[in-house]
Homo-oligomer: A and B are copies of this chain.
Amino acid sequence: MKVIVAKRAGFCFGVRRAIDIAFDVAKRKKGGVFTFGPLIHNPQVIEKLKEVGVMPVSNLKDLGKRNIQAIIIRTHGIPFQKMQLLSQKKGYEIVDATCPFVKKAQQYAKLLKEEGYQVIILGDKHHPEVKGIISYAGKGSAVVSVESPLRTLRERVGIVVQTTQPIDSLKKLLSRAIEKTKEIKVYNTICNSTRLRLKETEEMADRVDAMVVVGGKNSANTTQLANLSRSLSVPTYHIETSDELKKNWFKGAKTVGITAGASTPDWIINDVKKRVKDIGGSLCYGNP
């Protein structure tokens, strides 16, 4: 059985940067370091961070009277109201690990609002990145998914996009919106890393008999990869670690593809690769 690992599997620029920041802050502060929400959407990495003393909290109240040395802002960013709240309290450092591409989307939403546009965000309204972006988007703004009905639009519409959305969803939104308004200013804030990873997964799907997608079950971009692979009729398995692998997934498979989200560390991908190869070997009954 042949095992192919996607070249673009694993950490993107923003995730690598955030993890480097977190380890650096942990080293500097020696205790009292918290992330506001999980730093990235990978439970295994979050555990590693806990081991060096970087603890996730979901709101300020959770901190109680603990000694706070630094609060790190997650890669997905946070709403500006929460950022203001954090800034009001003194005695700790705020370290912003928001992915620079997400930051850009926030800034474009703000700019569009200031220019008088009705801001529409293409994405998942429950995702923390989108909750952050929309906080900058002002009155009349809305989050839409590719399926959600488009309510009445104003004459001037500004669009920004959750960085992990597929380009086809943006195309569909543009097609629907241009029928309902006179002016659109759109910033294509889909990050290149997402675009290329989806593209590679699409190409791989053509060549494999089964696809293993590795990454946080709470990771939007990993889920996106799995959905794409499934939509191309390839048996697809979304796992977080090699422990979830099952031998019978690979019976009869000649080629297996492995891809991973932007928040999946190399050590997990390598472990999955090794275990899939082992399974492949055991399925061959002596015929390598």
Contact = CB atoms under 8 A, between A and B. Distances in A.
A117 to B, nearest CB: 10
Interface residues of A, number: 15
A188 interface: yes
B179 A167 contact: yes
- How many chain copies does the complex carry? 2
Contacts of A183: 185-188
Contact of A171 (B170, B175, B186): B175
A171 to B, nearest CB: 4
The secondary structure that dominates the A interface is mixed
Nearest to A161: B178
B174 A178 contact: yes
Interface string A36-73: 00000000000000000000000000000000000000
A182 interface: yes
Nearest to A104: B182
7 contacts: A174-B174, A174-B178, A182-B187, A183-B185, A183-B188, A184-B184, A185-B185
Given A171-B174, A178-B188, A185-B185, 12 more contacts: A167-B179, A171-B175, A174-B174, A174-B175, A175-B175, A178-B186, A182-B187, A183-B187, A184-B184, A184-B188, A185-B186, A186-B186
